[in-house]
Structure formats: structure tokens, C-alpha cells
Amino acid sequence: MENENKPKLGGGIIALSVIQLIIYILMLIGTIFVYVSKDKIIEILNNSGTDTSAITKAFSTTNLIIGLVLTLLLIIGIILILSRKVLGVYIYFLSILANLIVTIVSQGFSAGILIQLILPVLTAIFIFQKKEIYGFGNKNANINM
């Protein structure tokens, strides 16, 4: 029997992935909850005399579906990153980029966008440090799709 020693992921990738998985699963649950009960939420806010124009725009079906799809892609990407698949790295960072573009187009640029990029930048740093796991930087590496 061959003893294959696979390089370990490292604590940084694992810790950030678990933190992000928890965040994105909660976002997924929250998005589904808002989608199911958005009419009731808007009705309650209208009855209290609150201006709901911005909330109605944020709770539009299009925005909720886009958020739901991007959140699902991020969860899939993180799971594949933990499985040492290069496809997960591509899915994760393309989803982050798409989420960034959608946020800027729909809400405009704000300081909150920069805060959202902290965990993806840290993830990129840790993945770059362990790039041999995913086959980056090695022309002869077998890419695990």
C-alpha cells in the first residue's frame, strides 16, 4: 500500500472556511425567511407609518433570488475548498466578485463593501500560502477538479 501524504489545509483556511460557512448558512436561512414573509414585513412597516420604499427595493424578488443564488454558490465554493478542489477556489472568488458587483450596482459604493472583503482577502492569502494543495504555481500539478 502506498502511503500518500497529502499536504494539510492549514488552520487559517479551515478556520476562515468554518466562520464563512456559518455566516453564509445564516444568510441563506435569513434570505429564505425574508422571501417567504416579505409581504407581512412590509405590511407591518406600512401600518407603523415607516417609509418602505427602500425596504421594498431591497426585498424585491430579483434582489432576493440573486442573493440566494450567490449565497448558495459561496457555500458550494467553500465546501469544495475544504475538499481541496481547485474548482471551489474559482467558484468562491467568482461569487465574491459577482456579489461585489451586484452590491455596487444596486446600492452604490460604501465603506461597508470594504468590510465585506476582509474575510475573502484573508482567505486568498491563506490559499496563496498553500497553493500547492490546489495546483497553483506548478505547471506539472494534477488539477483536482
Q: Flag whether the pTM goes above 0.75.
A: yes
* CA pair distance 26, 18, nearest whole angstrom: 12
Per-residue pLDDT, 143: 52
One-letter amino acid of 35: Y
Return the pLDDT at 140: 58
**Residue 59 DSSP code:** T
Residue 32 is predicted with a pLDDT of 92
Enumerate the H helices of 48-109 as residue ranges: 53-58, 61-82, 86-107
Q: Give, in order, the Cα–Cα distances in Å from 38 to each of 31, 32, 57, 66.
A: 10, 10, 11, 16
The ranges of the chain with pLDDT < 50 are 1
* pLDDT at residue 19, as a whole number: 96
DSSP 14: H
pLDDT score at 54? 75
